[in-house]
Amino acid sequence: MKKLNVALVGLGFGGAFAGIYKEHPDIGELILFDTRPEISARVSDHIGGAKIADSFEAILADPSIDAVHLVTPIPLHADQTVAVLESGKHCACTVPMATSLEDIRRIVEAKRKSGKNYMMMETTLYTYQYFYAAKMKEEGRFGKIQFFRGSHYQDMANWPDYWMGLPPMWYGTHAIAPMVALSGSRICRVNCFGSGTMEEWLHEQYGNPFPVESALFEFESGIKGEATRSLFECARVYQEGMFVYGSDACFEWGFADGSDPYITTFHPAQEGKRGGWSDVKVTPMPNHYEDLPEQLWHFTVGGNYDPLNPQESLKKGAGAGHHGSHAHLVHEFVRSCIEERKPWIDEVLGANITAAGICAHESAMKNGEAVIVPEF
Ligand SMILES: NC(=O)c1ccc[n+]([C@@H]2O[C@H](COP(=O)([O-])OP(=O)(O)OC[C@H]3O[C@@H](n4cnc5c(N)ncnc54)[C@H](O)[C@@H]3O)[C@@H](O)[C@H]2O)c1
């Protein structure tokens, strides 16, 4: 059976994926590249050796490489994705897909011209929590889904320069993606407000004055969902949360990112009694690993890979961050290429999730005016 040769480009967060590709039974050769050669060498050592490319251009020109997974800085995503697709290779890219509607259009066009796969590597759609909520939906446990909510609170002080003053909703994908996926619909319209103030120098890079943005999205199905995103000067503890409000049950993320979620079951009002009542169970999430090749099971538990501390990472079972999602992302990308089918988070789903955030920021800059999210 055919094996896939994959290049992994950008090895900060990207380092977390190296071991997973290396151990995936459908991978022939893994090629690593980072513009900082010492990082490539460190990651290669950590996983017991991999080929290291000389440049991004050398990867594009190498006909033996079938697919490229980009985990590079946000401003590079669009140009690099288009270049990979135009070189005739499958492309996976970390979030966000792009930061302008025009760049999303370029990617969609390049994907369709190339006939190759594009996958947006959205971690929140393969977490323990997402699998659990999707199963609740499949079993009809929510009753009617009435409303969604998403959150992503994270302080980005001292992160690389391109983060400084980033419009919060340009990287809204973790708050938005679970709502879109669970709704089975697409976001078509958004009203968003920016809130708060932040230091003047943070306005310079992107002309964005807001540390926090909060958006109300309308889905084509008619349902609505709210998402809030903070990046600077907000003390709220880190959380990439997903909240589903049904007529029979709710799923609400725990207080911190790692806390167990609250599952609420509704007991309707008895005849003659005012209001129904809800019982709430703090529910530990089961791991979902059975669909993966056995070699990858150990990547669904443990912590994040840190390229600056590979030995520490090793102890934590590196590669399993973001609630077990990394191995599932790799597996879906690899299998979709081998099976010559579209991956789940393809250019259409990735574009809607990303464009909803771009349009949300546009709305915030127009003081909450409604913005139509274009269809891709
Ligand atoms: N949950 C998630 O999905 C998640 C989590 C963290 C980061 N991310 C995304 O992953 C990307 C990387 O995040 P990070 O924190 O590692 O960023 P970073 O800026 O700290 O690191 C990026 C790495 O890419 C390398 N690099 C820069 N330019 C390059 C080029 N032209 N070719 C190859 N390598 C290059 C850098 O040397 C660095 O090692 C970002 O786009 C971010 O949005 C996603």
Nearest atom in ligand 1 to 171's CA: 43
Residue 96 preceded by cis peptide, ω within 30: yes
Q: What is the pLDDT of residues 12-53, one digit of tens each?
A: 999 999 999 999 999 999 999 999 999 999 999 999 999 999
Distance 70 CA to ligand 1 centre (A): 8
Q: What is the pLDDT of residue 273?
A: 95
Distance 104 CA to ligand 1 centre (A): 19
Report how far residue 191's alpha carbon sits from residue 215's, in angstroms, rounded to the nearest whole number. Answer: 6
3-state class (DSSP) for residue 255: coil
* Ligand 1 binding pocket includes 12 (Cβ within 6 Å): yes
Q: What is the pLDDT of residue 314?
A: 58
DSSP per-residue string spanning 138-159 = HTTTTSSEEEEEEEEE---TTS
Written as six digits, the tokens of 217 are 């999205």
**Phi, psi (rounded to 5 degrees) for 65:** -90, 125
3-state class (DSSP) for residue 102: helix
**H/E element, 263:** strand 262-267
Output the residue whose Cα is nearest ligand 1's atom 31.
35
Q: What is the pLDDT of residue 2?
A: 85
Output the residue whose Cα is nearest ligand 1's atom 10.
71
Cβ atoms of residues 151 and 74 within 8 Å? no
Output the residue whose Cα is nearest ligand 1's atom 13.
13
Q: What is the pLDDT of residue 306?
A: 72
* Ligand 1 binding pocket includes 10 (Cβ within 6 Å): yes
Residue indicated by tokens 């809800």: 278
Cβ atoms of residues 161 and 237 within 8 Å? no
Of 123, 93, 170, whose CA–CA distance to 347 is shortest?
93
Task: Name the stretches of the chain with pLDDT < 50.
Answer: none
Report how far residue 146's alpha carbon sits from residue 159's, in angstroms, rounded to the nearest whole number. Answer: 37
Cβ atoms of residues 182 and 134 within 8 Å? yes
Q: Which amino acid is at 116?
A: K
* Ligand 1 binding pocket includes 59 (Cβ within 6 Å): no
Nearest-10 crossing angle of helices 15-23, 321-338: 50
Q: What is the pLDDT of residues 267-283, one digit of tens each?
A: 999 999 999 999 999 99
Cβ atoms of residues 213 and 169 within 8 Å? yes
DSSP per-residue string spanning 6-46 = EEEE--STTHHHHHHHHH-TTEEEEEEE-SSHHHHHHHHHH
Written as six digits, the tokens of 208 are 């964005």
Distance 171 CA to ligand 1 centre (A): 14
Question: Which of 9, 72, 155, when mutated, tests ligand 1's pocket best, judged by the most ligand atoms within 8 Å of its CB?
Answer: 72
Residue indicated by tokens 């929590």: 129
* Ligand 1 binding pocket includes 9 (Cβ within 6 Å): yes
Q: Which amino acid is at 58?
A: A
Q: Which amino acid is at 268?
A: P
Domains, the chain, in order of start with CATH, read: 4-123+290-346 (3.40.50.720), 125-287+356-372 (3.30.360.10)
DSSP 238: P
- Is pTM beyond 0.85? Reply is yes
Q: Is 62 exposed, middle or buried (0-12, 13-18, 19+ CB in 10 A)?
A: middle
Cβ atoms of residues 283 and 262 within 8 Å? yes
Nearest atom in ligand 1 to 159's CA: 20
Of 257, 217, 216, whose CA–CA distance to 236 is shortest?
257
DSSP per-residue string spanning 332-357 = HHHHHHHTTS--SS-HHHHHHHHHHH
DSSP 60: H
Cβ partners under 8 Å of residue 13, min gap 6: 71, 94
* Ligand 1 binding pocket includes 71 (Cβ within 6 Å): yes
